[in-house]
Amino acid sequence: MSHKVIIPIGPYHPLQEEPEFFRLYVEGEKVVDIDIVIGYMHRGIEELSEHKHFDQVAFLVERICGICSNSHPFAYVNAVEDLAKILVPERALYIRTIIAELERLHSHLLWLGLAGHFIGYNTVWMWAWKYREPVLDCFELITGNRNHYAMMKIGGVRRDIKDEDIPILKKTLDELVPALNLFKGAVMDDPIIQARLKGVGVLTKKQALDFCVVGPTARASGLDLDVRRDDPYGVYDKVNWNVIVEKEGDIFAKTVVRILEMYESVSIIRQCLEKMPKGEIDANIKEIPPGEGIGRVEAPRGECFHYVRSDGTNRPIRHKIRAPSFMNVVSNKVAAVGGTISDAAITLAAVDPCYCCTERTTVIRKPDDKKIMNGWDLIKLSQEKTDRLKQEMRCPKAK
């Protein structure tokens, strides 16, 4: 390797919320190459899924990701419903759509806050997370949980939305719109933000096609694709909304796409609340026939893809999960290269990476393998290290 200087970012770094490792090869200030090393969050979920029955898998895949925790079970139930050709009651489809869009709102607000933080605009960070809070309160109201809502079920949803909760939901949305206007003004019309983000971390349309990126990352590079419109699920074909596409491919375009998408989400939820019919919320599915099915969901980060195969037993024999970040993170190979070191941080964060999703799956198949540790082993290891450090500092040994 001719490059002399390597700047390591990670695997544990204040910049990222999750462990991943970027090796930046630099010449002066310029990034000339990048290595992306992942695998720190690999939990063996695809394998685990083959050992759970169909109903349990929805809970399992919900735990792939803490932020888009509804997208995976949603894509999974879509896949099983495609496999078994199940018709879902209409009210359940409306409820699914409302949950999915609420999730997009809180996820985009979370990203916007983090993006603000990464470029040193901490006011945006605090605002975004402040206004994200009422969205999480809505989740708590409807589902009982701020996260991991456990709403998706093969053939329907687990909980109904109560009539008395609808005015509270509507009020939260009404109050969120002025906040979105605030962000639109503070980010999109701010000359300093424009100077900082325009032309930075560019992913051209050609590169976006080559890396097969999805979601806001693709739409910011001029690719007009959105699973909600292209391969409709839920009730996205029964409400009016727009796909936001920008051409520039830089971080500013990605920010614009996400901010404008939040308006669309608010509009979709409002329409769903108006149009939602009364009725059943569950098709009461008992058995899954042999076959295979594909389910897709436009998660906040892009297309979430699940493939499920059944042999007629009560467990899937194969469950392939492909999260949007799996396609998006690798595009940093071109987006971050050519930029400066100071741009790398925001560029790497601009795809809204989710490494838990990307890596999914600890395969604990060998109890005798000394390399694999469980949670208690790690705690013990940590306690031993603390003891050792205390001894080195000549402190009395803690019991």
Partner 1 sequence: MSIREKVKAGLTGKTIDWHQHSVRRIYILIKPADIKEVAKILFKDLGLRFATASGQDTPAGLEILYHFSFDQSGEIFSVRVLIEDKKNPEIDSIATLFSGAEWIEREMWELLGIKFIGHPNLKHLLLIDDWPEGDFPLRHKHES
Query: Using CA atoms, how far apart are residues 290 and 210, in angstroms rounded to an integer?
Result: 35
Minimum distance, C-beta of residue 82 to partner 1, in the bound complex (Å): 6
Binding partner 1 (rule: CB under 8 A), the pick from 46, 190, 280, 387 is: 46
Q: Can you read off the two tokens belonging to residue 231? A: 């391969």
Rounded to a whole number of angstroms, the minimum distance from the CB of residue 318 to partner 1 is 5
3-class SS at 103? helix
Q: Which is nearer to partner 1, 18 or 359 (CB)?
A: 359
Q: CA geometry: angle at 358 spanning 363 and 216, to 5°?
A: 165
Rg (CA), the chain: 22
| Nearer CB in complex with partner 1: 228/258 | 228
Residues 55-94 that bind partner 1 (CB under 8 A): 82, 85
Specify the stretch interacting with partner 1 by CB under 8 A; choose among 20-28, 41-49, 100-108, 271-279.
41-49
Contacts 24+ apart (CB under 8 A), 118-124: 118/15, 118/345, 118/346, 118/349, 119/193, 119/196, 119/197, 119/346, 121/193, 123/186, 124/183, 124/186, 124/187
Q: Does the footprint of partner 1 cover residue 341 (CB under 8 A)?
A: no
Tell me the number of residues near partner 1 by CB under 8 A.
41
- Binders of partner 1 among 359-378, rule CB under 8 A? 359, 361, 363, 365, 371
Interacting positions 85-144 with partner 1 (CB under 8 A): 85
Nearest to 141 by CA among 185, 172, 117: 172
| Smallest distance from partner 1 to CB 51, Å | 12
CA 48 vs. chain centroid, Å, equals: 21
Q: Which stretch binds partner 1 (CB under 8 A): 14-22, 43-51, 64-72, 255-263?
A: 43-51
Query: Which C-beta is closer to partner 1: that of 22 or that of 118?
Result: 22
* Of positions 44, 66, 134, 199, contacts partner 1 by CB under 8 A: 44
β-sheet bridge partners, residue 316 = 310
Q: By CB under 8 A, name the one of 5, 195, 209, 389 that touches partner 1.
A: 209
Region of residue 241 (left: phi > 0; alpha: psi -120 to 50; beta: else): beta
Shortest gap between Cβ of 41 and partner 1 (angstroms)?
9
**Selection from 34, 5, 104, 113 nearest residue 330 by Cα:** 34
> 111 or 326, CB closer to partner 1?
326
**Minimum Å distance from CB 206 to partner 1?**
11
Bridge-based pairing of strands 291-299 and 316-322 is unpaired
Q: Please identify which residue in 26, 75, 200, 225 interacts with partner 1, judged by CB under 8 A.
A: 225
Instruction: Compute the Cα dihedral for 54, 58, 60, 61 and give only its sign.
Output: positive
- What is the Cα 69 distance to its own chain's centre? 7
Establish whether the linkage from the previous residue to 11 is cis, with ω within 30° of 0.
yes
Smaller CB separation from partner 1, 237 or 274 = 237
Contact predicate 147/139, CB 8 Å: yes
Q: Which stretch binds partner 1 (CB under 8 A): 109-117, 123-131, 146-154, 228-236?
A: 228-236
Asked if residues 346 and 115 have their Cβ atoms less than 8 Å apart, the reply is yes
User: Is 40 in a helix, a strand, or coil?
Assistant: coil
Residue 354 interacts with partner 1 (CB under 8 A): yes or no = no
Tokens of 311: 């042999």
Q: Please report how close the Cβ of residue 224 comes to partner 1 at its closest, in angstroms.
A: 8
Q: How far is the CB of 361 from partner 1 (least distance, A)?
A: 7
Among residues 153, 128, 131, the alpha carbon closest in space to that of 143 is found at 153
Mark 303-322 with x for binding to partner 1 (rule: CB under 8 A) and - for no binding. Answer: x-x-x-x-------xx-x-x
Establish if 232 lies at the interface with partner 1 (CB under 8 A). Answer: yes
Interacting residues toward partner 1 by CB under 8 A: 38-39, 42, 44, 46-47, 82, 85, 209-213, 224-225, 227, 230-232, 291-294, 296, 303, 305, 307, 309, 317-318, 320, 322, 326-327, 330, 333, 359, 361, 363, 365, 371
